[in-house]
């Protein structure tokens, strides 16, 4: 009997805990408004975007409220004014070719009606495209915007825009003349490339490989699928040995002169151009190919990457 009483008491405790937890979890969910997929405010926002793209300044003015302001992610303290936005629309509409702001994929605008604060927001998930006709820079970026409407939902009071500020800055910089390093005609790294080419004339794989880091990567840009697929040092010279069985390298001549590019950011490369005479060992046929090389150097002056461009169809059959 005592055991049954204890079981009954335990059941009551478990039921009480369950009811309490259920009540608490239910109480934690409280609606604060509605989300609409169709709403008159969406049409106002669509008209605003269309007017912005076309540079229809009067239309924009008719769609916004007195005291309208806007922000992007760089405006930490002071918002932008209507005049600034009009100037932006005027410039972009006249200077960006194929300028569009459209929803992408399966996205669509949402309208958020906040009950507690009496706020009506329209959120759009668009993609902006076009290119600057003066610089050729492509402006291709996602653009998320939040439009806060007036209390009657008939005007736009505020816009917050999130887009690619790095790309915008690149667009502004494209109008400048900006130095990005130094070009050298003569340099110790240029000498290293010339010594590498001298090693190639020996057709000795081990001698050639000694000029590269063991971890070097090779990119045959014209003949790789995908084009940026890298080969290791061993993979590269396995292919080299296959060529050497069929072809004899008769001569290599420097075309013009190599350039060393020392970038202000990160990286030093030597670019060079070479004429190469080959002979097919079986047929005796000869041909000259043109090869462009790009060698990347680390801080210790070692070659850790090579890119080469040539047309294998020009090799003798």
- pLDDT tens-digit readout, 137-184: 999 999 999 999 999 999 999 999 999 999 999 999 999 998 999 999
Residues near 89 by beta carbon (within 8 Å), at least 6 away in sequence = 51, 52, 53, 55, 56, 57, 60
- pLDDT tens-digit readout, 216-231: 999 988 877 676 788 9
pLDDT attached to residue 222 = 80
pLDDT attached to residue 3 = 47
The fraction of the chain above a pLDDT of 90, given in percent, is 75
Q: Is the dihedral of CA 233, 239, 242, 247 positive or negative?
A: negative
More confident: 20 or 302: 302
pLDDT attached to residue 239 = 86
Instruction: Return d(Cα 24, Cα 32) in angstroms, integer.
Output: 18
Q: Please name each of the domains of the chain with its CATH number.
A: 33-173 (3.10.450.50), 181-314 (3.10.450.50)
Tell me the sheet residues that pair with 297. Answer: 268, 303
Find the radius of gyration of the CA atoms of the chain: 33
In this prediction, residues 8-30 reach a mean pLDDT of 57
- pLDDT tens-digit readout, 21-61: 555 555 578 888 899 999 999 999 999 999 999 999 999 99
Most confident of 48-57, 68-77, 239-248: 48-57
Tell whether omega for the bond before 226 is within 30 degrees of 0, i.e. cis. Answer: yes
pLDDT attached to residue 285 = 95
pLDDT attached to residue 30 = 84
- 67 pLDDT band (50/70/90 cuts)? very high
- 98 pLDDT band (50/70/90 cuts)? very high
In this prediction, residues 87-110 reach a mean pLDDT of 94
pLDDT attached to residue 74 = 86
φ and ψ of 61, to 5 deg: -60, -35
The alpha carbon of residue 68 and the mean position of all alpha carbons in its chain are separated, in whole angstroms, by 33
In this prediction, residues 271-300 reach a mean pLDDT of 95
pLDDT attached to residue 7 = 46
Looking at the whole model, is its pTM more than 0.85?
A: no
């Amino acid at each position: 009997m005592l055991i049954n009483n204890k079981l009954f008491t335990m059941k009551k405790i478990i039921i009480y805990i369950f009811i309490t937890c259920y009540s608490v979890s239910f109480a934690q969910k409280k609606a604060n408004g509605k989300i609409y997929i169709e709403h008159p405010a969406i049409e106002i926002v669509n008209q605003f975007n269309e007017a912005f793209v076309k540079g229809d300044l009067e239309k924009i003015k008719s769609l916004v409220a007195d005291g309208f302001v806007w922000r992007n992610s760089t405006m930490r303290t002071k918002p932008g004014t209507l005049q600034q936005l009009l100037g932006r629309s005027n410039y972009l509409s006249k200077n960006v070719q194929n300028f569009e702001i459209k929803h992408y994929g399966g996205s669509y605008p949402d309208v958020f009606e906040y009950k507690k604060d009496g706020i009506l927001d329209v959120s759009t998930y668009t993609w902006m495209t076009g290119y600057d006709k003066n610089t050729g820079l492509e402006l291709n970026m996602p653009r998320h915007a939040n439009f806060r409407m007036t209390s009657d939902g008939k005007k736009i009071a505020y816009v917050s825009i999130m887009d690619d500020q790095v790309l915008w800055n690149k667009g502004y910089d494209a109008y400048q003349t900006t130095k990005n390093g130094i070009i050298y005609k003569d340099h110790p790294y240029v000498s290293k490339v010339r010594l590498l080419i001298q090693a190639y004339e020996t057709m000795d794989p081990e001698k050639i490989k000694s000029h590269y880091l063991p971890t070097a990567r090779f990119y045959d840009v014209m003949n790789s699928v995908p084009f940026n697929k890298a080969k290791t040092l061993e993979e590269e010279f396995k292919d080299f040995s296959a060529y050497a069985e069929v072809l004899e390298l008769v001569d290599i001549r420097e075309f013009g002169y190599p350039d060393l590019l020392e970038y202000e950011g990160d990286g030093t490369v030597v670019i060079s151009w070479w004429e190469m005479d080959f002979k097919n060992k079986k047929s005796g046929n000869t041909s000259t190919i043109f090869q462009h090389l790009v060698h990347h150097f680390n801080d210790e002056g070692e070659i850790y990457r090579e890119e080469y461009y040539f047309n294998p169809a020009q090799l003798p059959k």
